[in-house]
Structure 1
Amino acid sequence: MTNTSSNNTAPAVREISEQAAQAAVMVAATSLRLPTVREQAVDLARAGAKQRLSHTAFLAEILTAECDERDARQRIRRVNEAKSPRTKRLADFDTTRVADLPPATLAHLAGGAWIDAGEPLVLLGDSGTGKNHLVIALGTAAAEQGRRVRYVTTAALVNELVEAADDKQLSRVVARYARLDLLCLDEVGYVHLDPRGAELLFQIITAREERASIACASNAPFSEWGATFTDPRLAAAVVDRLTFNAHIIQTGTTSYRLAASTRTIDRKEIIPA
């Protein structure tokens, strides 16, 4: 006797009205948390009928729309979570002003392979030379690619760590920073850190060493970092960790902001009132 398996039986499909079908789609999409399916199912079904799509092709269309919209929402969420202080884009950065940053190097950094490899990035240069722009823009690009990113100034991070230590929450905060794919640490060397703050910052750097990337910007050469970290041995250890397998870019001494201001003044002098 032949044993007929229920697995070979086609699933039962019952006939329902168009109105009932639409209502069922709305309920199911809400239950499954598929907002794009809920919003676009009817319109896509009508378009699919006009194009005589197969049921499988229509299913592919609606699921692809849901995935695309979910990816877009995730990119927006990642960018917001990065907490960048302002909007900066790599497309707006003038690489001709930085001899140490040819377009090919910028394209490589924008791709994010260095982040996946856990390599550091150090930007060194005077104020107004584009370090802040690059740190924010690279962080934004990484976030839009789905990576977990956080921008923070050195002073703000140290203050957060001190408060966490006082509240006996330091390990939790260090672990949170360790989970980031990219930590954008701005204004290294701008403020003097007391020994406790310097040691707490060192914990963050050590927790990410050779595992997760740090992109930092400083207006001071490495030889002057001892003034920030007070302890010469600690300063040397920080430099060692941030430069191992690192991308180091000198942004120079010519200020973008000063040049832009000069051009504005020149235009005002040329154009009659």
Structure 2
Amino acid sequence: MSAPAPAVTAMSEAAAQAAITAACKTLFLPTIRTQATELAQAAARERLTHTAYLAEVLAVECDDRESRRRARRVKEAKFPRTKRLEDFDTTVMPDLPPATLAHLATGTWIDAGQPLVLLGDSGTGKSHLLIGLGTAAAEQGRRVRYITTAALVNELTEAADTNQLSRLIGRYARLDLLCLDELGYVSLDARGAELLFQIITEREERASIACATNAPFSEWGATFTDPRLAAAVVDRLTFNAHIINTGTASYRLRTTQEQRS
């Protein structure tokens, strides 16, 4: 025996609008709440069936929810400024052809847990690429966090002093991508270097780290002080890694000059 058809209650336009508003609040559907009437009018003009109208309304809600999710992921990443890959001029960087950048933008290397090292002098576009790739990853739904090396070490040190280190390391371990900027800019004391090493080890071959550094690998001993620790860090951040040399010519200076000309 087939189930009875659902009952439909006749109601005025005002009552229907009130019912939609109340239901959308209960079901957390803000986009439908604000656009249902406008979409209904458009559906009437296009002579859509009730089913087609329902599909349109649900699609609008889903699209808006996805947009909000992407924006939330980007906000949670805590990027210091907005930088997008499409604004980066790859013609000034022979070691980064457009095809390579397009591949990196897909984020498949993140899914594979591979590291990325952006290596070059100050002003050569490392941070732009780091933030741009991180933003692309966040907009694809991945959990991303940007932080400078010095800030991360300070955060780890404070956590260790308050017996919160395991919790903090666990939080960083759950990220899909850790964007670590300014690696090698300042020397780390022994304790800070060891704490940073714990983060790197926790993510080894499992979750990606993208780092930007102005120091060649041979000089990382000056940052980590202990040569063995420096060698271990280099080994973990370069194994199966994408290494991009951004060169020595200042991308920042060139861009500024072009904008002024």
Among 91, 101, 110, which residue is 1:106 paired with? 101
Among 219, 230, 235, which residue is 1:235 paired with? 230
User: Whose radius of gyration is greater, 1 or 2?
Assistant: 1
Aligned counterpart, 1:137: 132
Aligned counterpart, 2:197: 202
Aligned counterpart, 1:81: 76
- The structural deviation recorded for 1:68 is 0.6
Aligned counterpart, 1:271: none
Aligned counterpart, 2:16: 21
Find the aligned partners of 2:169 and 2:239 in 1 and give their Cα distance: 21
Find the aligned partners of 2:257 and 2:43 in 1 and give their Cα distance: 58
- The structural deviation recorded for 1:14 is 2.0
Percent identity, aligned pairs only?
A: 74
Find the aligned partners of 1:76 and 1:91 in 2 and give their Cα distance: 18
1:156-175 → structure 2 map (5 Å cutoff): 156-175=151-170
Distance change >3 Å, CA 229–CA 36, structure 1 → 2: same
- The structural deviation recorded for 1:263 is 5.4
Find the aligned partners of 2:256 and 2:113 in 1 and give their Cα distance: 38
Find the aligned partners of 1:264 and 1:135 in 2 and give their Cα distance: 22
Find the aligned partners of 2:3 and 2:255 in 1 and give their Cα distance: 73
Structure 1 segments, 4+ long, off by >2 Å, are 257-265
Aligned counterpart, 2:149: 154
- The structural deviation recorded for 1:83 is 0.9
TM (norm. structure 2) is 0.96
Q: Could you list the per-position Cα deviations for residues 204-252 of structure 1 after superposition, in whole angstroms to 9, with x for gaps in the alignment?
A: 1111111111110110111111111111111111111111111001111
* 1:121 to 2:94 alignment: no
Find the aligned partners of 1:216 and 1:228 in 2 and give their Cα distance: 14
* 1:68 to 2:27 alignment: no
- The structural deviation recorded for 1:259 is 3.1
**Unaligned segments of structure 1, at least 5 residues:** 268-273
- The structural deviation recorded for 1:201 is 0.4
TM (norm. structure 1) is 0.92
Find the aligned partners of 1:243 and 1:103 in 2 and give their Cα distance: 22
Q: How many residue pairs align between the two structures? A: 261
Aligned counterpart, 1:253: 248
Alpha-carbon RMSD across the aligned residues, in angstroms, is: 1.4
Find the aligned partners of 2:259 and 2:101 in 1 and give their Cα distance: 28
Find the aligned partners of 1:166 and 1:36 in 2 and give their Cα distance: 46
